[in-house]
Structure formats: C-alpha cells, structure tokens
Amino acid sequence: MAIESVSPTDARRRQGRGGLLVDVREAPERASGMAEGALGVPLGVLLESPAEALPDQARDILLICEGGKRSMEAAAGLLQAGYRRVASVEGGTRAWRAAALPLAYPAGDPDFHDRYSRHLRLPEVGEAGQRRLLAARVAIVGAGGLGSPTAYYLAAAGVGTLAIADDDVVERSNLQRQILHAEARIGTPKVESARVALQALNPGLRVEPLAERITSANVERFLEGADVVVDGGDNLPMRYLLNDACVKLSKPLVYGAVDRFDGQASVFDAGRHRGVLPCYRCLFPEPPPPEFAPNCSDTGVLGVLPGVIGLLQATEVIKLLLGLGEPLAGRLLRFDALAMRFRETRVPADPDCPVCAAGREFPGYIDYQQFCAG
C-alpha cells in the first residue's frame, strides 16, 4: 500500500480537523522544538506497541520526524498493523519550522531549546545535562591567550556563570592571540573587555569580573562556589598558588600552558582524590629559578597555539561538569604545533607531595616572588 505524504501546511490543517500529529523522534531531539500539539512517541516504541500509543486505528494519524525518513518508516509499520488513515509529513520538523508553523518546547523556553539544540540531541548531555551546565560556576584565572578561547567556548556551551580574574588591561600586542579582545577596547581592563565579548555571544551568561591579581589573600574568596577552576594564565607563582588552593578546597583544576610552538594541558584533581590523582606539585614540586622561568614577552608564542590549548581546557571543563568520558587527570597532554603531534605522559600521584599527599595537613600558601610577566 502506498504511503500518503503531506506538506506541513496540509498536516496542520488536518490536525485542526481532529488529526493526531505524532512526532517519532527521540526525546533529546524533541527538546529542541516540536510541532505544536504533537504527541511525542519514539519510533521504536511506536512500532513495538502501536496499539498502546495509538489505540484508535481509524483516527487520522499524521507522522513527523526530523527530515521525513523515520516518519515514512513509522507510517509503513502502522499500515501493516491495520491503521487505516496514515500519512507522513514531507520534510519533517525542518520543513515545519521553515514554513513558520507553530512550535512547542517541553520546558516552555524557546531560547534554551534553540540555542542549545545540538547539545540537547546528544543523549550524553540532553536537557538534564544542559541545565547542569547552566547551573555551574567556573572560575577562570587569566583573560589572556588561554583564558580567551576557554571562556568563549564555555559561554557558547551554556556554562551559566564565569568568574574571571585578571588585573591587566588590553594592549594591541594581545590581539594576535587573545580573541576575547578587540581594537576598540585597547586600554580597557581585560575582565571588562571579556564581559562585553562573552555577553554579546550569550546574553544569558553571568560574568563575574575581578580586576585583581590572584594572591593568597583573595584566592579562596575567588574560588568560592566554583565547580571547576581553570588555569588560564602564564604566571608561575599564580599557578602554584591555584594548585595549592584547589587541593585545599577539593576543586578540580584544568591546567594549560603555552610557549613558542608547544603547549600542554592536564587536569589536577588531587583535592578530591588524595593519594590517587596528582596535583601540579607532583609534576613540578617547586618553581624554577627566575632566570629559567618562561616569559611569553621574551620568547614569543604562535598566535593560534593558545586557541588549541584553550579549547582542550574548555573540553575538559565540560566533561568534568557533566561527568563525561575520561578526564586528563593523571595525564599530561603535550602538543607540538610544528610537527602537529600530540604526546601523552602519565603523571602519578607523589606519595611525598608537600601539598596533596594522603593524610598531610595543608602547609599554608606561599606567595612566590613574581618572575614571569602575565
């Protein structure tokens, strides 16, 4: 028996005359918007128990999916099961949307479902995961080369609150790699420039700027309420301070660093996993002497390199917030831009680490003399 195919407009008319519109997509897909008045029944459920979902075999049934393929499959199954009046909507929900026909959203928030539709279609994220991102607070130290791509993609992904600390102002030399900033904002505090750029991308985002250098006096205040902390600077004293604070406060730290053509990233989560996962001091127990400390102002950095590492950091943050996949905890990922090669090194927890060793009391903060330009 031939399957009847109808346009979205005709389906809407028949719906108004008593026809039942059935959306056979999966729930994460329907969360991004479905034809108004449609009944959501996934294809597999419908074909397995059609009588349970649609008890009236004589009713006018209009089937719709994303593009039209699954609705045709559903229609064939219903006809074979004895349903008499079955039709498939041509072009599916995409065509329905293009025809400017009314849509409905499960939670009644069109911006949420439209903006994050690609996340909502991932079963590993879905609506529950996206709302978890919206409820999250991420603290980012540094609004420069690494902090820029990390913050930008976290804002786009829908992380609800970004706290950003940086005491510097935008300079023209920053614009080669610090994508949050623009020519018109030269001389503006970086955290304010970051707020402007991030809220232009996602107006619903909450940005908490702190135009201060992170020290032992303010680090705990800044990290309070953060679900994940991002090391987005190139200041070694700050890096050790952040590490120690995250161990003390039991917060995961997403680390990144760049120099010339090389970058590296990792996750240090010793505060929540004492004696099992390492902290930054397990890898580098003490800062190097000032004369051996890297300084981007002196050595330079390939402009795109912080983008690569910052995106890795943003990915790790999202994974940690959603509990997805395998974080870089216990692994140091190194990137050689010239060879276009990644290498991974295992980093074990140091049982004698002065900060994170199991059962060790917190030794207190050390404000090392600053020797690397921010």
Task: State the CATH number of the domain containing residue 61.
Answer: 3.40.250.10
Among the residue ranges 135-144, 257-266, 356-365, the one predicted with the least confidence is 356-365
Burial 312-341 (b: 16+ CB within 10 A, else e): bbbbbbbbbbbeeeebbbbebbebebeeee
Q: Which residues are catalytic?
A: 296
Residue 146 and residue 295 share a domain:
yes
Does residue 294 register a pLDDT over 80?
no
Other C-beta atoms lying within 10 Å of the C-beta of residue 101: 16
Residue 148 and residue 105 share a domain:
no
Mean pLDDT for 148-162 is 97
Among 57, 74, 109, the domain-final residue is: 109
305-326: pLDDT as tens digits: 999 999 999 999 999 999 999 9
Residue 157 and residue 84 share a domain:
no
Q: Is residue 326 left, alpha or beta, with left meaning phi > 0 and alpha meaning psi from -120 to 50?
A: beta
- Token couple for 153: 């993609």
Q: Are 191 and 236 in contact (CB under 8 A)?
A: no
18-65: pLDDT as tens digits: 999 999 998 878 877 899 999 999 999 999 999 999 999 999 999 999
Euclidean distance between CA atoms 243 and 93, whole angstroms: 49
One-letter amino acid at 95 equals A
- What integer pLDDT is reported at residue 217 of this predicted model? 94
- Token couple for 20: 């039942």
- Token couple for 37: 């008045």
Residue 236 and residue 196 share a domain:
yes
Does residue 109 register a pLDDT over 80?
no
- Token couple for 300: 């330079």
Q: State the pTM of this model.
A: 0.79
Domain span at residue 167?
135-346
